[in-house]
Amino acid sequence: MKKSLLAAAIVISLSLSTNALAQKHTFAVDPSASNIAFSLSGTGHDVEGTFHVTSGEIHFDPSSHSLSGSIVVSAASGQSGNDSRDKKMHNDVLDVSHFADVTFQPQSYQGTIAPSGDSSIQVSGQFTLHGTPHPITVPMQLHIDAGKITAKGSFMVPYVKWGLKNPSIFILKVAKEVKIDLNLAGTDTVGK
């Protein structure tokens, strides 16, 4: 009798976790708990800084590996700790008066999202910079625990190749690619 009750409990537990995973989820990003860090190598120095996440909501369906929604970042929020350099970044490179937002719109993922704990996936989507979308794939580490999600990933943006101005001057040279580190945190809602 005890074995059959234990077996029934295991089957019900597996069924509930499978049903929860098969349902659609919404990851509502909390901007106050999230940030975007960047690093850019240069001659004799590296430039590091952050951008502010304005909003974000990602809908994901583990049964079809589909994603939708967007992460929105304020281009004018970029800070490197040097006002003169930041002004040049905002005006000359990012042209924030014409392109206020940088967005990422995920479309699909490869890998498996565990119902709780850690998962490693590859997220593919459109990264829009200067109003132009670019296809990218970002390796992401997810952690799901009691309705909370954290998502971390890193990727390179070839900003000069994508048409942005190279801020190098004379002997002060910087790389033509910038490393982006996503650190997103928020809540997970099942069934939306």
- Would you say domain 24-190 falls under CATH 1.20.1250.20? no
**Residues in a beta bridge with 71:** 56, 104
| Interval 20-29: pLDDT, tens | 445 788 999 9
* 3-state percent breakdown (helix, strand, coil) of the chain, nearest 5: 20, 55, 25
- Tokens 């800070």 belong to 79
Report d(CA 183, CA 163) in Å as an integer: 26
Backbone angles phi, psi at 6, to 5 degrees: -65, -45
Residues 6+ apart with CB under 8 A from 133: 105, 126, 127
CA torsion sign for 108, 128, 134, 50 is: negative
CA distances (Å), origin 105, targets 57, 80, 137, 184 = 10, 25, 11, 14
Residues of the chain with pLDDT below 70 are: 1-22, 170-171, 191-192
| R_g of the chain, CA atoms, integer Å | 20
So what's the pLDDT on residue 136? 96
| Interval 14-50: pLDDT, tens | 444 444 445 788 999 999 999 999 998 877 778 899 9
Residues 6+ apart with CB under 8 A from 118: 141, 142, 143
What is the reported pTM? Answer: 0.82
